[in-house]
Structure formats: C-alpha cells, structure tokens
Amino acid sequence: MRTLREIKKIYENKEANVKEVVESYLEKIKEWEPYINAFLHIPYEDIEKQVKELESKSPNLPLYGIPIAIKDNILTKNIKTTCASKILENFIPPYDATVVKRLKENGAIIIGKTNLDEFAMGSSCENSAFGPTKNPWDIERVPGGSSGGSAACVSAGEVPVSLGSDTGGSIRLPASFTGVIGLKPTYGLVSRFGLVAFASSLDQIGPFGRTVEDIAITLQIIAGHDPMDSTSSPYEIPNYLEGLGKSVKNWRVGIPKELWYKGVSEEVLKTLENSFDVFKEMGVTIEEISLPSLEYALPVYYIISTSEASSNLARYDGVKYGYRDFTAEDIISMYKQTRGKGFGSEVKRRIILGTYALSAGYYDAYYLKATKVRRLIRMEFEEAFKKVDIIASPTSPVLPFKLGERISDPLQMYLTDIMTIPVNLAGIPAISMPAGFYNNLPVGIQFMSSFFTEDKLLQFAYAYQQFVDFSKKYPTLPNKERV
C-alpha cells in the first residue's frame, strides 16, 4: 500500500525488484477479490511478459514497474475487453488504447481489467453481466459507478493507481463512495482512442489514486494530443507537478447554491461542514454563486447520452464481432436475438430512450433542444470562472447505498449523479477528494476549474489534501462471516 513515489524509492534502494513488487500486489488482489469482485481479468501470462520486457528498459521511466489497473472498457492488446457485457464476453482487442500504450511506454505494468456497469451505464457497478463490485468499506454497499472496479481496487490497496472513464460522473462518484481521489480531465485533454464509446461528446478517461501527486504523475503520462482521436486537443501540456505545494492563498472558491443543500442528505452536509473551516485555513475566500441552468442538467444529460449511446451501440449486431445468436432463422431475427440476449436491461433501456429521442418528429423537440440547454450550462460555467478560481460541491448527494436499494428505481439511481453531470455537459475538469467519513462510510467533495486548467485544479487539491489527508486510511479485510 504505497504511493508511486514510495514504490520508485523501493526500486532505487534495491529493496525489491519489479517481480517482487508485482507479486505483492497480486497477493493483495487474491486476498480481496473474493469479497469485492473489483477485477474481471488478471492476465497472469501477460504480466510475466511485461515484467520480462521491463528488464531492457530504463528504471528512470516515470512509471517503471508500477502496477496499474484498467477499466474493462479501455482496449488492451491481447487481453480481454468485455465492457462487462455478454455481447463482448470473448472479445480480445488486437491493439492498445492510446492511454494504455503511453502507460506501457513509460514503464507501467497492466495488472488487470476492472469491473464496471455494462458499457459504463450505471451509478452503482451493479449492472455488470459478471456480478457487482462491492464497496471495500462495507461489502453490503455499492462502490458507485460506473468505474466501481477501478475505484474499489485502489481503495482496497490492490493497486496504487487505476484508470476509469467518466461520462456523467463515473470516476468521481465511485471515488467519493470508496474514499479515494478521482479526476475527470477537460474533454479532449486525454485521447479517447481505444475507449469503447458510450456517449462520444461526454466520455473522458481519467485516473484514480490515493494522493494528488499520484494523480498528477499519471495525468502527465496520459494527457496530450493524439492524431488517432479527432476530438483530441492540440493544447500544450504543462508540468502538472510544478504547482503542487504552491500557495493558494487569496484564491476564490465559488459555492453554487444549486449544488448545495437541495437534495443533499444531512449525513453528507454534516460531514462536509468541516471543509469550510479548511478553506479558511487555506486562506481562500468563499463566495456563493448561482448556476441557474443546472436544474435542467439531469434531463439534458439523459437525452444527449442515451441518444449517442443508441447510435454507438448499433455496431453490436452479431455480424462484425462479439456474441451472435446462431439459433435465429433469418438475419432480422439474428439481429434481434443477438442484441436481446447480449445486452442487459439498463443498456436496452438507454438504447430505447435514445432511439426515441432521435426519431423523426422528436429530434428537434428533444435532442436539439437539449444541446441548446447544454450550451447555456457551459456559458454559465464560463461566466462563473471569471469571478472565482475553483467551484466546490458535494460529489454525491448521498452516502454509499446498499446493493439492490436503487436498482429497481432508475430515476432514483440517475439522481445519484446529479452533482457530477454538469461537469461533463460543460466539458470542464473536476476532481473528487475524500473529505471525511460518516459512520465509517466515505464522503467526497468535488472541485471544478475552467477548461484545461488541470494544473490549477491539482494545485488546489494538493493544498486541500495537506489539511484533509486520508491517503493512509484503508478499509480492513472483511471477516468471512460478513460474506
């Protein structure tokens, strides 16, 4: 259970070699997995190959010998990528996603693929076709979704860092529920080439870690223009580590009244009260702001995301790759039966919603109008960042809930993401930090900043972690009686 810098120190002092460090993490995975089901695949043969290949590489690489877990909707060459769906159960990609390629080039060991809600659709990690992931702090509760596996494995100490994807809060919500840090970068900062698309205008890959420094190191590797992704920005990447430790005195923190209090549980508010005292100790000023269009964020998000999902998932028809139903008597029946048996209920629900919103006669009323409101939300954020440096809000309105508690009520489940969705609609960066615990359950606080100001966001988050640091607080292995 070490940070990236601590693992590097071990190598520098020759206290252990890469094989020994990787084996120690595999042992930790072996201990925890029967309880939390964070991983879908551990590619033991490929790990051995990666460790051997590192022998010919420089130990000065920034991620040399660091075990990293990858969400199972990000392509990994010769390692299964299922998106936690039956329809891709046996799919083995022939190439790596750009982020995976960059991690490997910088010395990282891809130690496994993590569980998620099927095709990243969900807020609890219960929609996986291969069983839910459980929260390491209480295995009767959800870890949040959709990147629940990537968050839970960092929380339990199975890996120091992992990657997830965030379409409406899928990194930040599970980070909040499991007591770790999760960053959703600016849209276009990190290449999406090799990320299985859910909603293309909202998806973004980002890291999980236990310290802001680990997040900054990982972001430094995966950020940057990629000619393979037409939405990738040519923005010049700054040194994200340079600002860590610098003062944030006199910075202005905006508190949007639309994201505090209304709909937020007493338990979450009580835990976050302490953050205002921390802000004062940091020397920042607090200002109440208003983002009035946020009340429309949830419906706008579900119209746009389901519309794009219905289009993106049309490719899974049993013809090109993945599962095919061979009992069908004709091609139309084959399409229907393949998709009917291959997709889970949440994915089907979103495909139907999206197809309806895009259908003739409804496109202007739903999709087009939603994109216009999205523009308003983005403009309000732009105006807000002319007045304040950082915007703060709870990451989740509620504590981690129990498995099965919301699965039969889609609206209640969708409301879990109400604090995180506006960030994806605007395209700005945001980070979730552990802010405290309520009855041993983690509570997260979300910080947002303007476009491509991840350096500023990380500087603020680092300063906050100097006062509120839970990086050494780990859940304990559950007793067998609790399983």
- The residues that are catalytic are 71, 146, 170
Neighbour-count burial for 115-128, b at 16+ CB within 10 Å, e otherwise: bbbbbbbbbbbbbb
Whether the Cβ atoms of residue 247 and residue 255 lie closer than 8 Å to each other: no
Question: For the packed helices 212-222 and 454-467, what is the interaxial angle rounded to 10 degrees?
Answer: 160
Which helix (H) or strand (E) element contains residue 444? Answer: strand 441-448
* 393 vs 135: CA distance, rounded Å: 23
Token readout for 461 is: 């988050």
- What is the 8-class DSSP label of residue 81? -
* 164 vs 146: CA distance, rounded Å: 9
Sequential DSSP letters for 201-227: TT--EEEEESSHHHHHHHHHHHBS--T
Q: What's the sign of the alpha-carbon dihedral 296, 373, 458, 98?
A: positive
Sequential DSSP letters for 244-299: TT---TT-EEEEETTTSSTT--HHHHHHHHHHHHHHHHHT-EEEEE--GGGGGHHH
Token readout for 472 is: 């050494």
Cα 161-111-65 angle, rounded to 5 deg:
70
* 371 vs 44: CA distance, rounded Å: 45
